[in-house]
Amino acid sequence: MADILASLRSLMASQSPPLDALLVPSEDYHQSEYVSARDKRREFVSGFTGSAGLALITKNEARLWTDGRYFLQATQQLSDQWKLMRIGEDPPLDVWMSDNLQKEAAIGIDPWCVSVDTAQRWERAFAKKNQKLVQTSTNLVDEIWKNRPPAEINPAVDHPLEFAGRSVAEKLKALREKLSSEKARGIIITALDEVAWLYNIRGSDVSYSPVVHAFAIVTLNSAFLYVDKRKVSSKVSSSLQANGIEVREYGAVSSDAAMLASNQLDQATGVNFGQNGVCQNDTCDNDLIWVDPASCCYALFSKLDANKVLLQQSPLALAKALKNPVELDGLKNAHIRDGAAVVQY
């Protein structure tokens, strides 16, 4: 553990500007609480395996904030190089930073692993002492993580209509109507469960969660899925294409978010869904990009014009929660199967 911290501190000192502190959250690029093995960065640096926690590494200290579920576990797992900060008992992160870091301290984050609302909250708090949140160009933990687990290529599969209860076309139409009513011309979708629900796909990229590591962008006329294409079979690809969804490589979401901001994304694709959308081509006055501040990473938000962003809970969160009759039957059947498994055990 000491070697890991020493390596991180060396990297922190080599940044421009040099970092006085580095924040390592639990979340992945999609702000998931439960992440794949290769995304367990906070676990790697601290040795703490709980699902929730935030690690802070400074030039001289290493601290971990976590909640009451994990106080005992963290006490057992953290080495003497680390100090446990008990949420609700010890000073919160922003207070501790203000009291213990010098003015104008540079505090590094990987903007892909921090949500918009978290980053903005930290920026406001740190600004009180002229401390600055610095977005690193790479994840510093990844830089030193030898033998990091490789990305698994697990296949994406169609979620049949007999289980979904609503077609992709219906969901996209409803989403576009909601976008139009809010004067938005597009939405960036980063939450894995929302991508899976909207496009009726499932996967196994995260243990015990039927999701695929993917982003989505939907405009009034087009729809995109950003995923490792090796996970998408010809059958799934055909199904997506039939619904006007263009499959692009996972990493392309960054440049496409910038193109979305400049209103060039629709013009750059041959796929057009205008006939099933709300408006044709550029005839709408909508000019906002919808972003859920709780689930969208700061990296993608930073590609947009902040004055033309609608920061609001994703409409898919509510749409997904409103279960149709087929989904209700599925819930009942799942409970029966779970109950039988418990009784059998």
pLDDT at 274 over 90: no
**Are 2-144 and 157-326 in the same CATH fold?**
yes
> 26: exposed, middle or buried (C-beta count within 10 Å: 0-12, 13-18, 19+)?
buried
Question: What is the per-residue pLDDT for 284?
Answer: 53
For residues 111-137, average pLDDT: 95
Q: What is the mean pLDDT of the chain?
A: 93
pLDDT band at 345 (very low <50, low <70, confident <90, very high): confident
| pLDDT for the residue 269 | 53
> Is the separation of the CB atoms in 228 and 205 below 8 Å?
no
Buried b (16+ CB within 10 A) or exposed e, 233-242: eeebbebbee
Q: How far apart are CA 127 and CA 104, in angstroms?
A: 9
Position with higher pLDDT, 231 vs 98: 231
- Are the C-beta atoms of residues 8 and 144 closer than 8 Å to each other? yes
Q: What is the mean pLDDT of residues 191-210?
A: 96
Instruction: Give residue 264's pLDDT.
Output: 86
What is the domain partition of the chain in residue ranges?
A: 2-144, 157-326
CA distance 117 to 124: 11
Question: What share of the chain has pLDDT > 70, as a percent?
Answer: 94
Binned at pLDDT 50, 70 and 90, residue 286 comes out as: confident
pLDDT at residue 249 tops 80? yes
* Per-residue model confidence as pLDDT tens digits over 43-89: 999 999 999 999 999 999 999 999 999 999 999 999 999 999 999 99
Q: Are 51 and 23 in contact (CB under 8 A)?
A: no
Q: What is the DSSP letter of 252?
A: G
- Model's pTM, two decimal places? 0.91
CATH value of 2-144 in 3.10.20.440, 3.40.350.10, 3.20.20.80, 3.40.50.300: 3.40.350.10
Instruction: Kindly report the backbone phi and psi dihedral angles of residue 288, in degrees, each rounded to the nearest multiple of 5, phi listed first.
Output: -100, 155
pLDDT tens, position by position, 202-220: 999 999 999 999 999 999 9
Mean pLDDT in residue range 7-28: 97
Residue 214 phi/psi, 5-degree rounding, is -160, 155
User: Across residues 119-123, what is the average pLDDT?
Assistant: 95
- Quick one: pLDDT at residue 266? 79
* pLDDT tens figures, 141-186: 999 999 999 998 999 999 999 999 999 999 999 999 999 999 999 9
3-state secondary structure of 18: coil
Over the stretch 31-40, which tens digit does the pLDDT of each residue have? 998 999 999 9
Kindly report the CATH class assigned to 157-326: alpha beta
The yes-or-no verdict on residue 283 having pLDDT over 60 is no
pLDDT at position 2 is 72
- Give Cα separations from 165 to 193, 240, 330 (angstroms): 16, 17, 10
Closest CA to 132 of 120, 141, 123, 140: 123
pLDDT at 321: 95
Q: Are 137 and 301 in contact (CB under 8 A)?
A: no
Cβ–Cβ under 8 Å, residues 59 and 83: no
Read off the pLDDT band of 275 (50, 70, 90): very low
CA 232 to chain centre: 20
